[in-house]
């Protein structure tokens, strides 16, 4: 597969390069950047000095690209996607433009008119463990957000099995600073983040409608979720802790059985032994998700936790997982191996 990456110098773009450089069936033929075109890629990202990746190009995607990863701010990919599709280029969008099924929801949360609402019916939500059959054969994949990936892997099997009270869901989430991207901002520079811990996007984070959309599909009715993200003074990682009331007669073994049925054949989702709780370091650098739960009989709530690397399973690794599905390759090709410890 001849691969192109738009937004190649951002954090998710660099992760794509890192992972694809070791992918036996992929060749990177195009690295695009709007701000650094003409410069050597290794000059911007010296960790790739041994890879001979050549110069960064402008955002004119050349002929010969089979699959294009778009690691761009919202609104940009959608404005150009039709042209790529008409050239028979498969598009995997790591941004938000095609994650939401309804244009009016996108416009409400992202405060812009959707540039390609007519393409939304062609897009598939690219969380392989939950939508593998729908992804196969598509040309436009919406790679999920990092918070939604961890949250949905934890909750969807339990909702599909009808084990939880759907109106009781509270998602308390934490992310490393790389989730904010590479651009400098007051809220993410060292003096603001170091030795600090804070909620942000409270009651208005843009991943909220994405989470609600997918959970509503799993439950079979419209759901509203309390979702609060927090910024942690670390580089990588997502940890979500979820509180959910169980339905009458449900036991902890029922919850675990629903997970087991969904994930027993999955390479990248790991249900930890009882008493072992997810840590972000388990997932650092790998395309893996780690799950745990317990049933608090005193409160009648399930306490559920999930950890992923926000840049890998939460972004670039999952995008490559989707690419493998699109081209009929083993899903773990180029993604094998554990995370990095310590």
Separation of alpha carbons 157 and 269, rounded Å:
12
Helix (H, G, I), strand (E, B) or coil at 7: coil
Per-residue tokens: 155: 């909750």
Alpha carbon distance 215, 217 (integer Å)? 5
Tell the residue number behind the tokens 């041994």, with chain if given. Answer: 50
User: Considering only CA atoms, which of 278, 147, 276 is closest in space to residue 215?
Assistant: 147
Cβ neighbours of 276 (radius 10 Å): 11
Per-position DSSP letters for 210-227, written without gaps between them: HHHHHHHHHHTS----EE
- CB neighbour list of residue 39: distance below 8 Å, 6 or more residues apart: 55, 56
Print the SS3 string covering 163-200: CECHHHCEEEEEECHHHHCCCCCHHHCHHHHCCCCEEC
165-201 residues labelled b (16+ CB within 10 A) or e (exposed): ebebbebbbbbbbbbbeeeeeeebeeeebeeeeeeee
Query: What are the phi and psi torsion angles at 30 (to 5°)?
Result: -150, 125
User: Which neighbouring-strand residues pair with 199?
Assistant: 230
Catalytic residue among 100, 146, 284, 312: 146
Say whether 146 is catalytic: yes
**Residue 313 burial (10 A CB sphere; 0-12, 13-18, 19+):** buried
The tokens for 328 are: 């009929």
Residues 6+ apart with CB under 8 A from 41: 8, 9, 17, 31, 48, 53, 54, 55, 56
Q: Residue 242 has which token pair?
A: 């979820």
Q: Catalytic amino acids?
A: 146
């Amino acid at each position: 597969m001849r691969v192109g990456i738009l937004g190649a110098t951002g954090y998710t773009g660099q992760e794509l390069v890192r992972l694809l450089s070791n992918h036996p069936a992929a060749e990177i033929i195009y690295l695009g950047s709007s701000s650094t075109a003409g410069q050597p890629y290794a000059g911007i990202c010296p960790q790739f000095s041994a890879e001979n990746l050549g110069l960064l190009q402008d955002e004119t995607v050349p002929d010969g690209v089979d699959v294009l990863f778009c690691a761009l701010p919202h609104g940009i990919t959608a404005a150009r996607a039709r042209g790529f599709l008409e050239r028979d280029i498969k598009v995997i969008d790591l941004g938000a433009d095609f994650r939401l099924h309804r244009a009016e929801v996108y416009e409400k949360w992202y405060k812009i008119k959707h540039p390609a609402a007519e393409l939304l019916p062609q897009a598939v939500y690219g969380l392989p463990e939950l939508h593998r059959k729908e992804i196969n054969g598509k040309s436009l994949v919406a790679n999920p957000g990092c918070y939604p990936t961890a949250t949905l892997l934890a909750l969807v099997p339990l909702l599909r099995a009808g084990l939880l009270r759907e109106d009781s869901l509270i998602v308390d989430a934490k992310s490393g600073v790389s989730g904010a991207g590479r651009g400098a901002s007051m809220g993410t520079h060292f003096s603001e983040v170091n030795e600090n811990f804070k909620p942000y996007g409270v009651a208005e984070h843009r991943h909220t409608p994405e989470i609600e959309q997918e959970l509503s599909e799993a439950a079979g009715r419209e759901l509203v979720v309390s979702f609060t993200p927090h910024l942690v003074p670390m580089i990588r990682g997502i940890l979500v802790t979820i509180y959910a009331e169980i339905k009458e007669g449900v036991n902890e073994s029922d919850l675990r059985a629903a997970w087991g049925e969904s994930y027993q054949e999955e390479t990248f989702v790991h249900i930890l032994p009882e008493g072992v709780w997810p840590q972000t370091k388990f997932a650092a650098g790998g395309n893996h998700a780690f799950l745990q739960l317990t049933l608090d009989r005193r409160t009648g709530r399930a306490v559920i936790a999930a950890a992923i690397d926000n840049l890998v399973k939460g972004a670039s690794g999952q995008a490559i997982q989707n690419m493998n599905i699109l081209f009929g390759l083993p899903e773990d090709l180029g993604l094998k191996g554990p995370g990095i410890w310590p």
